[in-house]
Structure 1
Amino acid sequence: MTRILENLEELLQEAGFSVWWDRTDLRPGDPIDPTIYRALNDCRAAVVLIDADALDAGYMRREVNILTFRHAEDGLHVLPVLLQVEAEQVRGSTLGRETGIDVQLALHASKKQNQRAARETAEQIAQHLLTESATWQRDIYSPENRWIDDVALCLESTSRKALRRAAETLELDLPAWERSSEPGWDIAAALWSAEREVVLEVIEDVAYQLPSGPRERIVNYAIPLWAHLRAARIVRSVSVEVRGVGRAVSLATRSLWLGEYLARRAAAGNRKARVVRLIDVHGESTIQDLVGQSEATLRRELNFPVETPAEEVSASLRRRPGQQLYAVLRSDTVNPATTVAVTRELQNKFPGIVMIVLNHAGSGAWISSSITPAFDPFPPEDERAARKFVSDMSELSGGKKIEVDSEE
């Protein structure tokens, strides 16, 4: 791997690329994890070298999760390269299951382990990047960076001691963190992909030191972190899969708050993203009646008058680039066919909408190819932990607490 990287760095620099490699670009005193997170969030393309050791490595899962989310969010070019492992091994590993990295079109390195084979693999990677580079966006301000910047701004009112405790909880390299010029940014960057128990501990510690405004904002930014990046990436990738075509994802829960905050996690703090709660699908109403009720809600949210023809609404939405509109729909009291029919009707009427459909884990609606599972599986114990996280976190804001056992 080292020989491949040395050759690749040389080849890419000769081709005019700016290359970031931790071995050469991490300087003495740099905070390791936050510096790597910054590089992952700023890059325009990423090469992921996967060998046997990477399949179950925690640091690989954290870093690849960020890359796959950015791939879904802003089209980041991610190139997996398999070193002495097969695609099926990756898919069946912890890395493959938790990040969903697409290895179907991965490059396969030579089975030989010598300098010539390393050079050939590096040349193959460099040629691929040169071929694909014309499609990269020139300037990418990633959604993660937007979220991290906002959280770091909230942390400016926090004492240095509290930030240091947060760095300890997040297991950052403390001596390096102490020398950082942006300690708040480093904390926020680590929070973005941290486990939910760690997030709660950090926010619990800093929230009480903040004025009411920043405290409420940082809690609102942290609550969506109940959802793993993998689930958020699935929601996000569904929303950009085909421009102008509606998509639906499933979440095995009745909790509207979990559905709403999954959408907000997927939007990565985008202030222009809208999350709409639709009326529950239930009762003896016809499919058209159920669609009509939700359609009225969406028209109000999108500012379309009642008299605007449906064709005009659809045409207008198809012309809006980059729109992020999420609709949360609970449908656990009707038969699966009704759930599928209602979601399809709404998708046709409102192109580009992403529907998060809430139902129980055994619902037959999930068999439909038109509904993608965001959590598969989403076991009861995980839902209980998620509900408790949302409830505990909401209490920190000083506002209305979301009760853990409430229907909300």
Structure 2
Amino acid sequence: MKKKASKELMKDINFRVILRKIFENGEISRASLAKTTGLSAATVSKIVSEQMDAGIVSEVGSEISTGGRKPILLSINPSFKIVFGVKIGLGYINLVITDLNGKLLLSGIEQTEPQIRPEKVVELVAGSLDRMRRSLAMPADRLLGIGLAVSGVVDPVAGIVRNSFLLEWEDVPIRQLIEQRVGAKTYVMNDVDSFSLAQMWKGKARNYRNAVFITLGSGVGGAIFLEGNLYSSRGGTGEIGHMTVVKDGRKCTCGSRGCLEAEASFEALANDIWKFSKTREVQRLYEEMKRTESSELEFIREALRIEGSMDEAFRNYSEIIGIALKNVVNIFAPEYILIGGEALEFKDHYLKESIEICKVNSFGRIVQGVTFDIDEMGELAWVLGAVYRVIEDTLFTVSTSLTGEVLE
């Protein structure tokens, strides 16, 4: 029985290796599959036939040939399954349905209370999925899975949100709750990890293998790719927002002082704008914001509209971001750094200066090999990476459960 199980496992591995190659290349011939995978032409042909019979792979045309028979190109059938992606934000939930190529089929945003409870998330996800799927006339069995992106420390293996300061969640088994309610395989990941995966899949980072992603806004997040793989260890890696940039600085939500998030969040920037403001109107707006607990982002926008520029406040912001970038460059020496998040709205006030501070203060010549860039995918990136994770884990990751045996 063990020998049979091993044979079935090898068949499963080969099936998924070929499927991944087709997915990654977009279009590829059987001959190229045999060459790049090292599998025999007969094995490739047999597996591709099975994939076509299942409907997951299609023939899509011919390669250009200098002579002889033109090789037939293969591609993933994007309509084989759909994927439901969810991003839980502060006061909203972003929802999308895509095909297997990540093409957006339907999207929606649900406004929620800022610290929404897990039980409400589960009901909202279940109701939205059912409504959106029906509007596309998609049967339930077409759903490949659900990808959920959430702020905080996430254990993706257990599907548990260990700690989310933003949502005030602690040890929430959100995957289990959703799977029990919806009945669909669910994958949970940190939202900045999702953002970075989307950039590596469909965004400007797709041609790089060593990259760092930093998001600036209400909080500060980070994700790290080393040799093409998202670096992850015990669910807490990439916490760039909690590196110390100011000794004995502002109190952070994590309990420490002087963290990048405490010094470069919208709350910190709004406080500096108030401190350096020259007009009574901006002072009054700040006091009103604090009294009503309204959005710091809206305050920053309005303050800039009133005063036109906030040089002193943004000078401090630029320096803090520059120090953080320098630390990232010195530690990881990445090829590529991409900056995203809502604070890009104000990039003309700080980003050029931040990058210059990084370049001037980085160790040796290490910074000369770094490309700095900004996000152009916007809100979609935050959820599209979770979609990719569903596709990757469901279609390309080998599961011994397919054999019905526990292999030793």
TM-score, normalised to structure 1's length? 0.30
User: Comparing both structures, which one devotes a greater share of its residues to strand?
Assistant: 2
User: Comparing both structures, which one devotes a greater share of its residues to helix?
Assistant: 1
TM-score, normalised to structure 2's length? 0.30
